[in-house]
Amino acid sequence: MSFLKSETARAWALASPLVLVLLAFLVLPIIWILVLSFWRATEFAMVPDFSFENYAYLFGSTVTWQVFLSTFRYALITWVLTLLIGFTVAYYLAFHIRSSTVQMALFLLCTVPFLTSNIIRMISWIPFLGRNGLANQALLSMGVIDQPLEWLLYSDFSVILAFVHLNTLFMITPIFNTMMRIDRSLIEAARDQGAGGWQILTNVIIPLSKPGIMIGTIFVLALVMGDFVTVRFMSGSQRSNVGRLISNDVGLLQYPSAAATSIVLLCTVLILIGLLMRFVNIRKEL
Amino acid sequence: MSKMRYSRRSLLKTGVAAAAASAFPAPMIWAQEIKDITLRQFGTGVSNLNEVGQKVKEDLGFTLEMTALDSDSVTQRAATQPDSFDIADIEYWICKKVWPTGNLQAMDTSKIKNYDKIVGIFRSGKLTPESVIAQGTAPHTVGFTSGPGGKDFVAEESGWMTLIPTIYNADTLGIRPDLIGRPIESWTELLNPEFKGKASILDISSIGIMDMAMVCEAMGEIKYADKGNMTKEEIDKTIGIFTEAKKAGQFRAFWKSFDESVNLMASGEVVIQSMWSPAVTAVKSRGIPCVFQALKEGYRSWGGGLGLSKSLTGIELDAAYEYINWYLSGWVGGFLMRQGYYSAVPDTSKEFMTADEWGYWFEGKPAAGDITSPFGDKLAGAGDTRDGGNFYERMGRVACWNSVMDENQYMVRKWNEFIAA
């Protein structure tokens, strides 16, 4: 009885629902994917096995390396752009807007586009950027160009444009949140000590916004590295990333091969986030 | 509502086809029970049309629920989730993959009223007695099984069909004649540098590889023993040629669904691409010139049919047979033929088409007046003839059937690399 009343037991009891949910819906599926990645596939069936064939094929193909490389490239470029835009927007909202009502109104305005499906938001770029789309027509009629720009659509440009458009909010929100918690007297103190605007930004605001930046980074990286739909539609299937490799395999009933690729992707993303965590201890700073 | 008083037998008599009734020695089923039946059909978008479902409700009284998916998803579902459907509307090459799983049941041809009128392609394999059977998975090779419960394919008309043929067509490249401005005669044009950044191919491996093979063979790069069953070397070489073209920027995009192919063509992003007949029709109905170009090397053809889930029994199974008989009795055939497909039983479809429509779509004659789609869009005006000519000219020039190869898995991996390259 004394055990049941103890602090430890209460802590366990409180934590157990979450543990069970995570076990059932996160850990077990991942274990299942791991197991599956060692199976073999025939045309339409999966054969239980313990074979490294899927991994051997994955690492043996130059295409895999290229695809992982382009996935990192998309993630990096998207990260830089969403960070720049996200930080600027959050900074403006947090420090330049004085009235908290206007602040909240503007912040909610940022979220309005997210009330529609992200597929719709993405696909609506296609007629805009097309060879005979609005962008090209406008540029042609203004005389800026005399041939339609081909690279506007079905290119790296359109993929990254869509990624930035879809994911910037995930950067704005956490950065805005941490910026709002910064004690304004610190900024005053810095100013009293004679710091200029730039010094305040680099020495006070950026270090104190780090947890927000880090959370935003994790969101953006995870979303971009796991994406397949944006790359498929915005590149007209001409470019690929790891997500598309997996979705192609699933479409062709090659589940074990898809599982192996997923495991490799999962490990890559986990290592990446592990590295990021070394730079900033999110839990301590929240 | 008066129908509710009739037995199934009299319902049929007053309904679609009187003679069909004698083919059903099954016990009488009351119309009320038929009304409560829901058959779940799934398949590719081509023939999963809501109009068919509505007409079934009207003519037969039961409910047909339809789900449209892409070819890969259809295969996946038929192979892995037999209880999720009652009727599978699939292509013959999919059947070759799915049939050995035992998820579908053989159909007794003696219960199919119009069996004798089904075109030769689906029975002996020959369109006319002189026809040469094309390469690939020709429908008749996977159309029959040894008996109820059979998981094999037999060459002769055994009386047990795997799929009841419903729809088929001869595919070729679609072009925008207004943007190309010169005649296109060969499959090689798909890789012509003249159309750099303006070509497209479909991203469905089993069909795309065939279009590739047609191109490579036309270019004289590869001579295939059987385009429908390539060796590893042939696959490597074929995909190699296209990967090079892709890297050189030949393709604007790849498409996976019908709508995508229509949008690519209609917006002018692409001027030459793999295409399906109704997609060409859809582009035309927007008033944009588009031709389903007949090419000298011939067509890549495909056929589809209805398969029954192994879990269908009793009254549902009877309803499914009734549905299949209704399907072949002409209304659907006419509906499909007016979109540019062919019906497995053209004779019955003729009754549901005007003489002018029949002349235009089947006989390749110049249209006397406006030809409209079943949805009311104008597809051709007086004097226009169908691209490629009449039924025998088109279906008689099939170079290859959509197929699934022995080296399918290897091909799929190579295809995945091509898409990722």
Q: Cα–Cα distance between B291 and B277 in angstroms, integer?
A: 9
In a 10 Å sphere around its CB, with 0-12 CB exposed, 13-18 middle and 19+ buried, how is residue B9 labelled?
Answer: middle
Tokens for B71, please give them.
Answer: 């070819």
Please give the share of chain B, as a percent, with pLDDT higher than 90.
61
Q: Is pLDDT above 80 for A251?
A: no
Q: Residue A189: which domain range? A: 61-285
* A36, containing H or E segment: helix A28-36
Q: What is the pLDDT of residues A22-68, one digit of tens each?
A: 999 999 999 999 999 999 877 666 788 898 988 998 898 888 899 99
Q: Do B413 and A254 touch (CB under 8 A)?
A: yes
Measured between beta carbons, the chain A residues lying within 8 angstroms of B229 are none
Count how many pairs of residues, chain A against chain B, have C-beta atoms within 8 Å: 88
**Chain A residues lying within 8 Å of B70, measured CB to CB:** 251
Chain B residues in contact with A154 by the CB 8 A cut-off are 252-253, 269
Q: Is B98 on the interface with A (CB under 8 A)?
A: yes
Q: Would you give the DSSP letter of residue A112? A: G
Q: What percent of chain A has pLDDT over 90?
A: 62
Does B118 touch chain A if contact means CB atoms closer than 8 Å? no
**Cβ neighbours of B75 in A, within 8 Å:** 44, 253
Decide the pairing of beta strands B173-175 and B272-274: antiparallel
What tokens were used for B138?
Answer: 């020709």
N-to-C CA span, chain B: 60
CATH for the stretch B2-170+301-350: 3.40.190.10
Across all residues in chain B, what is the average pLDDT? 87
Among A43-47, A211-215, A227-231, B329-333, the least confident range: A43-47
The ipTM is 0.78
> What CATH number matches the domain at B173-297+390-420, 3.40.190.10, 3.40.50.300, 3.30.70.1060, 1.10.1200.10?
3.40.190.10
- Per-residue pLDDT tens digits for B135-179: 999 999 999 999 898 889 998 899 999 999 999 999 999 999 999
Task: Name the one residue in this structure whose structure tokens are 């170009």.
Answer: B293
User: From residue A160, how far is each of A154, A189, B16, B378 by CA, in Å?
Assistant: 11, 40, 56, 40
Cβ–Cβ below 8 Å for B409 and A131: no
Which residues in chain A have Cβ-Cβ distances shorter than 8 Å to B413? 57, 254, 257
- What is the signed CA dihedral for B97, B101, B103, B108, rounded to 10 degrees? 80
Instruction: Kindly list the residues from chain A whose CB atom is less than 8 angstroms away from the CB atom of residue B421.
Output: 63, 66
Of B132, B167, B165, B139, nearest to B153 by C-alpha is: B139
State how far the Cα of A153 lies from the Cα of B264, in Å rounded to an integer. Answer: 12
Joined together, the tokens standing for residue A39 give: 């199976």
A206 part of a folded domain: yes
Residue ranges of E strands in B286-338 = 291-293, 299-309
Instruction: Return the pLDDT at A3.
Output: 56
Residue B23 near residue B110, CB atoms below 8 Å: yes
- Structurally, chain A folds into a number of domains equal to 1
Residue B418: closest C-alpha in chain A:
A63
Strand B272-274 with B199-202, pairing? parallel
Q: How confident is the model at residue A249 (pLDDT cuts 50, 70, 90)?
A: confident
Residues in CB range of B57: below 8 A, 6 or more apart: B63, B64
Closest by CA to B282, choosing from B340, B333, B337, B331, is B340
Q: Cβ neighbours of residue A161 under 8 Å, at least 6 residues apart? A: A125, A129, A234
* Coil, strand or helix at B67: strand
Which tokens go with B140?
């008749």
Report the C-alpha gap between A240 and B138 in whole angstroms: 34
- The answer to whether the Cβ–Cβ distance between B79 and A130 falls below 8 Å is no
Q: Does residue A78 fall inside a structural domain? A: yes
Determine whether the interchain pair A238/B253 forms a contact, defined as Cβ–Cβ distance below 8 Å.
yes
CATH number of the domain encompassing residue A132: 1.10.3720.10
Tokens read off for A147: 């041939």
Residue type, B208: G
Question: What's the average model confidence in pLDDT over A100-106?
Answer: 92
Residue B278, burial from CB neighbour count under 10 angstroms (0-12, 13-18, 19+)? buried
Query: Identical fold at B2-170+301-350 and B173-297+390-420?
Result: yes
**B126 pLDDT higher than 50:** yes
In a mutational test of the A interface, the residue from B404, B413, B416, B418 whose CB has the highest number of chain A CBs within 10 Å is B416
- The interaxial angle of helices B71-80 and A242-251, nearest 10 deg, is 60
CA B268-B273-B276 angle, 5° bins:
105
Q: Does B93 touch chain A (CB under 8 A)?
A: no
Q: CA distances (Å), A113 to each of A94, A167, B349, in order?
A: 21, 11, 50
Q: Give the tens place of pLDDT for each residue, B303-319.
A: 999 999 999 998 899 99
Asked if B9 and B319 touch (Cβ cutoff 8 Å), the reply is: no
Q: State the smallest CA–CA distance between residue A251 and chain B in angstroms.
A: 6
Contact B103, B84 (CB under 8 A): no
Q: Among residues B93, B100, B182, B97, which one has the least CA distance to residue B137?
A: B93
- Chain A hits for B255, Cβ within 8 Å: 236-237
Rounded Cα distance, B222 and B241, in Å? 10
Residue A67 one-letter amino acid: V
Q: Residue for token digits 């835009």? A: A85
When pLDDT is cut at 50, 70 and 90, the band that residue B97 belongs to is confident
Give the domain ranges of chain B. Answer: 2-170+301-350, 173-297+390-420
Question: Would an 8 Å CB–CB cutoff place A41 in contact with chain B?
Answer: yes
Mutate to test the interface with A, among B81, B264, B415, B419 (most CBs of A within 10 A): B419
B253 touching A (Cβ < 8 Å): yes
pLDDT score recorded for residue A255: 87
Would A54 be classed as within a structural domain?
A: no
Nearest to B292 by CA among B268, B265, B255, B269: B265
A249 to chain B: nearest residue by CA? B416
Q: Which residues of A touch B81 (CB under 8 A)?
A: none
CB atoms B267 and A131 under 8 Å: yes
Residue B251 CB burial class (10 angstroms; 0-12, 13-18, ≥19): buried
List, for residues B34-57, the tens digit of each pLDDT value: 778 899 999 876 777 888 889 999
